[in-house]
Structure 1
Amino acid sequence: MTYPALRTWIGGAPEASAGGDGPWLHDPNTGEALAPSASSSPEQVDRAIEAARRAHDDARWRGLAPEERAERLEVLAAWLDDRAEEVALLDALNSGVPISVTRLFGGSNGATIRDAARRAVAVGDVRELASEQGGVRLHRVPWGPTALILPWNAPSAMAVKKTAFALAAGATVVLKPSSFSPWSAQVLLEGVREADIPDGVVGLVQGGGDVGRALVSDKRIAAISMTGSTPTGRAIATAAAARFARLQLELGSNNPAIVRHDADLDQAAAALADGVLKLSGQWCEAPRRVLVDRARRDEFARLLIEEFGRRRIGSSLDDATEVGPVAFAARRDELDEQRGRLASDGAEILRVSQVPADGWFFAPTVAVLDGPGLADEVFGPMLTVGGYDDEEEAVRLANTGQVGLAGYVFGEDADAAAALGTRLVAGEVKVNGTSVLDMSPESAQSFFGASGLGGHGDDDVLDFFVGKRVVGRDRPGLPL
């Protein structure tokens, strides 16, 4: 198979990325080296930012009506629809996520773009405000060039969503995909060119932390949207603070799940196994820590590991696989190290025994240990299970440590479970389920605590890329 060349895109045109001395891209199923990495030079990063600045300043994109932008975005959506299978294959290789899941992502990218365009048209760039004197209008104005820092776990979905909502809002952007999962971003940029989106509106740079630091530190970057680790998020916030760049940061969280006394344990175990094993355990809002009545803790842990054992573990390219490898060797090694620390802390370690020997596979694991668990985020197919004596203790433990993105509550009495969910420090709490998708088309959530800045929900994402400006006739006769 031929993989996309890791090119840098500046002013609507691709060019060879200057450097390539970083780690190779590997097949996570076998460990086989597939292609060399690439990195944009500092000069290329500078030119990509400058192209985005010029495109913002001359309003070649934001100056179009939302309906005109929507027409171009529809062309991009249709183009990505036609490339869905290619994108699914590239994502499965870059992330280790089973292709049955990456096909869902690849097949929905066009719909994501259409939804962003529809929302932007509905809200408009300018609207009349109620006023006695008339002529007062609210303008939605893009902040300026925006850096999109992309994660490695859902490469095309995150690249497309951030780019689609930025473009629908009229912003110009520079993308930096993860150096572990850069391929589908190349496909997206090809589509941007085919959709006749003006040159300079979307740029792409390649590389690791040095390229990311250069991008987010540049004073021409007015806003930054990033999904990734908490340490990276802290570094970005520090770099952006002096110039007050706008930030949207979705970071790590050891998301808790409370199993109430009246929960059906079999159903809860099946749902939690589904939740933690989706995307090979590699999604930000996956359940990470389970709290259950102490008298039933060990029983529940064994139900969980039995559920883990029922899932088919194998190549991310196999249609029948339910749990693939993790994305890269360092991810597997960190999970190994975390599991070792849990064992050293006294945890009983339960793990699935039949796991492929080659590649970056990590045996799905249940670690049985009371207390808050590890301080650092567990990002992979591993759950901790601890006990509680009453719900006050359960809430205290659930709200301890790095939390803020999501939470889960299981119980027969759904109203009581939901009431308990309102006590969790989390932007989204699901009752009796662990789905990836939002519970409502109107869903919105904030990132609490160390889980980030801002939040998401489609309207919130669209709003992030713009500031609001009021222009109009002043009110006559005001006393002050």
Structure 2
Amino acid sequence: MLLPHGVHIAHPERLYIGGQWVPAHSGRLIEIISPDSEQVVARVAEADATDMDAAVAAARAAFDHGPWPTTPPAQRIAAFRAMIDHLRPRADELARAWTAQIGGLASFAGPMHQGALFALDGIAGFAQDFRFIEQRPSHAAAAALIVQEPVGVVAAIAPWNGPFGIMANKVAYALLTGCCVVMKPSPETPLEAYLIAEAAEAAGLPPGVVNLVPSHREAADHLVSNPGVDKVSFTGSTVAGKRIGQVCAGRVARCTLELGGKSAAIVRDDFAIDHAAKLLTGTITMMSGQVCAMLSRVIVPRARHDELADAIAREMRGVVIGHSDDPAAQLGPVAMQRQLERIEGYIAQGKASADLVTGGSRPSHLNRGYFIEPTLFANVNNADAIAQEEIFGPVLALIPVEDEEEAVAVANASAYGLNGSVLTHDAQAAWTIGRRIRTGGFGQNGLRMDFGLPFGGFKQSGVGREGGPEGLMPYVETKTMLLDALPDGL
């Protein structure tokens, strides 16, 4: 079976259901295309609706009749740490898989995945400190206990841009709270989920506690609709998230939705133009702009707009565009052909409504692969599509405003509310502005994220939070027990 060089998966042609590696019902394979070469670099099994039902049934049996939900938290933590111990020496495989599948820069892939593994250790620590049972005073009973019980069977659906870290976090929170999981990775990036499934097998988790079913959208819709799924944890587009939210609402299933963003960076007068240009260019080109929390709108005083546009253009023209395995490359390809075409469509819209300062084309020195130049639009109206819709590519919109009051209003004039930033050396000003911006995250001087802390969005950027000890709460149900006396063992 075809796999990227250096990635070793035992059964890529099979699914992992009920503790067994089983053939896909359809017999079909998903082909993974390299965005560098446009060639097939891997094939894995494709699950269909029948496989989804089998995976949910296995998880349901493991949750309803198996030992995992009632296993003491300390033992669940130990089992999860055994999974991390299995994954840690495979960090290079995870990095290679990511680079091969979406063209993420190899120079960034290693630190990214080492960081993701470090974050898993942190989640285990959160579970260790979590109060699964808490005694509280009550006028209604001699013993009042607040118990956090696992929500049940979780469908974990991860996107293609950060497939390991995002999926592994969902699995971590689910397992540590006693849930059972059905992993549905993106069809563009399924390899990381195979390594997670192998880690669960190596750690000796009971059959059905972790299941793996890569698929395309139709089968994923079937999974979300399955009444045996108690909770859906989804990270991806707002369009797909709305659909999942509607389905879950129809049967009052729980869901956590981490969706899109159109985050703004406000540039204050005390921040140097050259420094701002370097920071904003380095940000918009990170992961080829394919980051949900990306600072893709820049709000700047009108008097400084032209100078900042010129400075960003100079920085962008100096960005080295190349293949993902080129150590000199600062910007690799976007993940797939449809993503490239989407970006080009937005660039065409932008040309009709704003000033294209630089970029906007495929680089002339690369005649194969899904590459696009870093692109800057100036004099953008915040109502335009390039300022309101998530492009998910290296496209930056520069929006002039008269003053700070208008800057805050423009930043908030968005259907999204995931992230934001202010470029200033005044921490008090950053605090004051940040409190006025309707986003789930906000940072001073750039795109700042810490997945050991809560992460999620306001408005159409999502529902719920992942990360930090708060990330455990969406995977539990709170039960209040009023007893005549404390039970043994407490």
1:426 equivalent to 2:436? Answer no
CA contact (8 A) 1:274 1:434 kept: no
Counterpart of 1:378 (choices 391, 400, 404) is 391
Matches of 1:323 and 1:20, distance apart in 2:
37
Equivalent pair of 1:6/1:186 in contact (CA under 8 Å): no
Q: CA deviation at 1:141?
A: 0.7
Identity percentage of aligned residues: 31
Q: Does 1:126 align with 2:133?
A: yes
TM-score (norm 1): 0.93
- Which of these residues, 184, 189, 205, is aligned with residue 176 of structure 1? 184
Q: Which runs of 4+ in 1 moved over 6 A?
A: none
Q: Secondary structure at the match of 1:327?
A: coil
- Aligned: 1:392 with 2:405: yes
SS in 2 for 1:296: helix
Gaps of 5+ in 1: 476-480
Q: 1:208 aligns with which of 192, 201, 216?
A: 216
Query: Is this contact kept in 2: 1:65–1:125, CA < 8 A?
Result: no
> 1:284 deviation in Å?
0.7
SS in 2 for 1:283: coil
Structure 1 window deviating more from structure 2 (4-13 vs 163-172): it is 4-13
CA contact (8 A) 1:52 1:145 kept: yes
Is the CA contact 1:271–1:434 (under 8 Å) kept in the aligned structure 2?
no
Distance 2:454 2:47 in 1: 35
Normalised by the length of structure 2, the TM-score is 0.91
Letter in 2 for 1:433: G
Tell me if structure 1 keeps the 8 A contact 2:45–2:214. Answer: yes
The aligned length equals 472
Q: 3-state SS of the aligned residue for 1:324?
A: coil
Q: Which residue of 1 aligns with 2:379?
A: 369
Cα deviation, residue 356, structure 1? 2.6
Alignment of 1:75-154 (within 5 A): 75-131=82-138, 134-154=142-162
Who is 1:451 aligned against?
Answer: 461
Partner secondary structure for residue 322 of structure 1? coil
Alignment pair present for 1:279 and 2:268: no
Structure 1 residue 14: deviation in Å?
1.4
CA distance in 2, matches of 1:15, 1:299: 60
What pairs with 1:19-418 in structure 2 (closer than 5 Å)? 19=26, 24-36=31-43, 38-131=45-138, 134-351=142-359, 356-372=366-382, 373-374=384-385, 375-418=388-431
Measured in 1, the distance between the counterparts of 2:44 and 2:88 equals 27
Deviations 1:278-316 (A, max 9, x none): 112111101011111112212112211222233332222
Q: Deviations over 1:95-137 (max 9, x none)?
A: 2211222212322343233222221121142232234754322
Cα 1:29–1:445 change in 2 (3 A) is closer
C-alpha displacement of 1:417: 2.8
Query: Is the Cα–Cα contact under 8 Å of residues 233 and 255 in structure 2 kept in the other structure?
Result: yes
Structure 1: distance between partners of 2:414 and 2:177: 36
Write out aligned runs for 1:433-448 (5 A).
433-437=446-450, 441=452, 443-448=453-458
Cα distance change, pair 118–59 in 1 and its aligned pair in 2 (3 A):
farther
* Separation (CA, whole Å) in 2 of partners of 1:170 and 1:319: 42
Partner of 2:3: 2
- Superposition RMSD on alpha carbons, in Å? 2.0
Question: 5+ residue gaps in structure 2?
Answer: 486-490
Q: Judge which range, 459-468 or 17-26, deviates more.
A: 17-26
Can you list the C-alpha shifts for 1:70-95, whole angstroms capped at 9, x where unaligned? 11111111110111101100011112
Equivalent pair of 1:39/1:205 in contact (CA under 8 Å): yes
